Structure 1
Amino acid sequence: MTEPRHYRVMIVEDDAKIASILAAELDRYGYDVVMAQDYARIRDEFVAARPDLVLLDVNLPRYDGFYWCRQIRAVSRVPIIFISARSDEMDQVRAIEHGADDYITKPFNLELALAKVGAAIRRAYGEYAMSRDPDLLSAGGLLLDRSTNRASRGDRAVELSPKEFRLLWCLAERAGQIVSREELLEALWDDTDFVDDNTLTVNVTRVRRRLEELGLANAIETKRGQGYCLALTGGE
């Protein structure tokens, strides 16, 4: 078996016994394991953990694995392997159609499961490649995708202009902290000598409106004489 150091696997399995067995085996082979905690917020936990691969059960509380597979696929292309007691071929077809890379039926052989994990990682990243997506950023339940200039929260999403998105990204990188107007001007414009200071204010106003469409009113706070702060906490 190839050396799987540096890879993070997220286990989304509500059967504690099965989850712990999988986690122990993955850990034994050097994987970094993250266990799902809140089955109503799998996508948020996925974005926060930034795993390289997901092991996903079908039968889960609140929403099933097919739903969460679609949610993950909306923000990432990491390998997803279903692990389920459902052995019907149509369930396996449905899993693939929803974006899964593989399907393992319970009860399963641990060595086979580990082999499938290793194979999926090799296909996705190469033998020892690292795999963190630099285009995704999460802050307090707000997800930013730099590849599309989209901001999303739950089931709602908005597309921003390049300048608006860069402004929001700068604030989200330091959510909860004050970012000075000077820093934002330098991040948005190459030559700040020819930029009217009011231009930044206009862009901040536009981003505020976009965030309001996501249900985040007053998310950007003005700190007089200092700059702006993206006041997002938690996952709501």
Structure 2
Amino acid sequence: MADKVLIVEDEKELAEILGEYLSVEGYKVSLAFDGEKGIEEIDDFKPDLVLLDIMLPKVDGMTICKKIRETSDIPIIMLSAKNGEMDKVICLGIGADDYVTKPFSPLELVARVKAHLRRFDKMPRTLYDKGGLQIGQLTFYKESYVARIKEKEIDFTTKEFEVLYFFAVHHNQVFSKEQIYENVWGLNEYGDISSVAVYIKRIREKLREYDLDYIKTVWGAGYKLSIME
């Protein structure tokens, strides 16, 4: 079955061009030209990935991103005419997986879509691979991208899971932001090093909901996962 991509973009011509490129690549595409319609399509179309403009009529993209993250960890790529660092940090901070500044090449965006969908594991969240890596109160199931505390599953996005799993595999080792980026994102993947700090912040916030303070900052050196229990 073809992956489904929802494009929420008020520039109709741009949305249609992107839809054509993605359709040629074999994706099933739905278009929404305002935020309200975008929210409807999320429920009706049930996309595997969302391309989401920030500045939308009726409901803005950031609000939609937050709404998606309440129930789903599907990849979200934000589209924006703004190229400020703060806008990108805010979008990543509320749960977006990527941030693309206009104007952009449709071919580049298609490549990003492919990269995010390759990473996104569609296995049912109730199916856990056997064994699992246990560090402190956390247990990781790499094949199904699941992290659990005792019997409670933590709602990590795929990239958040990859960052935390990398730390778990290299427990108590210190890594710089550059090293984390190279090992988790890879040199051939889209993104930038500034994303590392944003993802670590998001992971810390989710762990602290369970009173876990596992990610430590080593000033001047980087970060590490340290279990002191």
8 Å contact kept, 1:50–1:132: no
Cα separation, 1, equivalents of 2:70 and 2:62:
13
Q: 1:88-124, CA deviations, whole angstroms, 9 ceiling, x for partnerless residues?
A: 1111001001100001110001121011100100111
Code of the residue aligned with 1:33 in structure 2: it is V
Distance, in Å, in 2 between the alignment partners of 1:132 and 1:19 is: 31
1:39 to 17, 35, 38: 35
Which residue in 2 is equivalent to 1:22? 18
Residues 88 and 68 of structure 1: CA distance in aligned 2, closer, same or farther (over 3 Å): same
Aligned to 2:142: none
Distance 1:133 1:46 in 2: 19
Q: CA deviation at 1:133?
A: 8.3
Q: Which amino acid aligns with 1:31?
A: Y
Deviations 1:137-176 (A, max 9, x none): xxxxxxxxxx99xxxxxxxxxxxxxxxxxxxxxxxxxxxx
Match of 2:58 among 62, 70, 90: 62
Structural mapping, 1:128-139, within 5 Å: none
Q: What amino acid maps onto 2:116 in structure 1? A: A
For the structure 1 residues 47 and 87, does the alpha-carbon distance in structure 2 shift closer, same or farther, using more than 3 Å as the test? Answer: same
1:42 positional shift: 2.9
**RMSD of aligned C-alpha atoms?**
2.3
The residue aligned with 1:181 is none
Q: Which residue of 1 aligns with 2:96?
A: 100
Residue 154 of structure 1: aligned partner: none
The 2-side partners of 1:32 and 1:124 are apart by 17
For residues 133-152 of structure 1, what are the structure 2 equivalents within 5 Å?
none
Find the structure with the greater CA-based Rg. 1
Alpha-carbon deviations, 1:44-91, whole Å to 9, x = none? 320111100000000000221111100111111100001111111111
Of the three residues 47, 50, 65, the one matched with 2:46 is 50
What stretches of structure 1 move > 3 A for 4+ residues in a row?
Answer: 130-134
Structure 1 partner of 2:145: none
1:88 and 1:67 mapped to 2: Cα distance?
19
Query: Aligned equivalents of 1:18 and 1:115: distance in 2?
Result: 17
Give the number of equivalent residue pairs. Answer: 128
CA spacing shift, 1:132–1:63, aligned 2, 3 Å: farther
The AA in structure 2 aligned to 1:75 is: T
Percent of aligned positions with the same letter in both sequences?
41
Cα offset, 1:41, TM superposition: 4.5
Summarize the Cα distance change of 1:133–1:84 in structure 2 as closer, same or farther, 3 Å threshold.
Answer: farther
The one-letter amino acid paired with 1:79 is: P
Which consecutive residues of structure 1, in runs of 5 or more, have no partner in the other structure?
135-146, 149-236
Q: Where in structure 2 are there 5+ consecutive unaligned residues?
A: 127-151, 154-229
Give the residue type in structure 1 aligned to 2:14: I
> Within 1, Cα distance between the matches of 2:55 and 2:23?
24
**SS at 1:113 equivalent:** helix
Aligned-pair CA distance for 1:13: 0.2
1:144-183 alignment runs, 5 A limit: none
Alignment correspondent of 2:68:
72
**Counterpart code for 1:119:** A
SS at the partner of 1:87? coil
Q: Offset at 1:39?
A: 2.6
